[in-house]
Amino acid sequence: MKLNAIPARHGVLWVKMGITTFLRQPLALSGLFFIFMAVMSVLSLVPVLGSVLALTLLPGATLGLMAATQEALKGKFPMPGVLFSGFRAGRKQLRAMLVLGVLYASGFVLLLGISALVDGGKFAQLYLIGGAIGAETVADSNFELAALVAMAMYLPLSLMFWHAPALVHWHGITPVKSMFFSIVACSRNFGAFAVYGLVWVAVFVLVGTTIALLASLSGSEDLVAAILLPCAMVMAAMFFTSIYFSFTDTFGATVEHLA
């Protein structure tokens, strides 16, 4: 395993490769992402324990989407079983992936616990138990501050786990070391990841604005609802597809020859 120094412009390449690879197998990759979201959503319906279980499985499920991207890149049709790649690579890696999931869930719960100190637990309760967000809740300055605190704390958490599942699965690195290598890699290549994030934000805004404009010209609010959700799902699937290239470029061969 070698940690590469990535030019900032590669952030654009990751987005480009994510979109073009998705278009090789759009039905398979969008279907796998839908299954991924459906499983996470169903688990989250169970108050507290379901949400914690979903968080525990998230690193392994994300690895499954990366494995699906690898299959699509090879010209293969990724089957649903690929989503469980992180849990089917032997007892040792299964244990490591579950430990990684427990660490992720623990970090996220700790994050929610700290946010509870700001608003008395309203934001944490909304995530763990669910419920509707009323106008009174949105207007609560403490709730808004708790949400901002949670978002700020989630950034370093996400960086620790960005590469971790792939490092555990493809390089056999222990969960704690994979988290360390992940945040070091993201920090050293901050420019590429910043460009990557900004380009994806621009893509999402552009697509959303285009859909809203077309819907306004048609004068149909139902059209907005009918188009926006599936488009958002497809864009999210493309985003998850692109994660694979951020990993391979950082810890493997450059993606420049693929662009």
Distance CA 110, CA 115 (A): 9
Crossing angle of the two packed helices 141-162 and 175-188, in degrees rounded to 10: 100
Distance CA 245, CA 251 (A): 10
Distance CA 128, CA 49 (A): 8
User: Residue 135: pLDDT band by 50, 70, 90 thresholds?
Assistant: low
Mean pLDDT of 64-76: 93
* Residue where the block lists tokens 């509707």: 132
State whether residue 150 is helix, strand or coil. helix
| Model pLDDT for residues 7-22, shown as the tens digit of each residue | 999 999 999 999 999 9
| Distance (Å) of CA 67 to CA 9, 176, 216, 242, 243 | 25, 22, 39, 12, 11
Mean pLDDT of 193-211: 92
Distance CA 242, CA 230 (A): 19
> Is a pLDDT exceeding 70 seen at residue 221?
no
Mean pLDDT of 110-114: 92
Helices (H) and strands (E) in the chain, counts: 11, 0
Q: State the pLDDT at residue 182.
A: 96
State whether residue 46 is helix, strand or coil. coil
Where does residue 118 rank: exposed (0-12), middle (13-18), buried (19+ CB within 10 A)? buried
User: Residue 259: pLDDT band by 50, 70, 90 thresholds?
Assistant: very low
More reliable by pLDDT, 130 or 187:
187
Instruction: Name the average pLDDT for the chain.
Output: 88
Where does residue 55 rank: exposed (0-12), middle (13-18), buried (19+ CB within 10 A)? buried
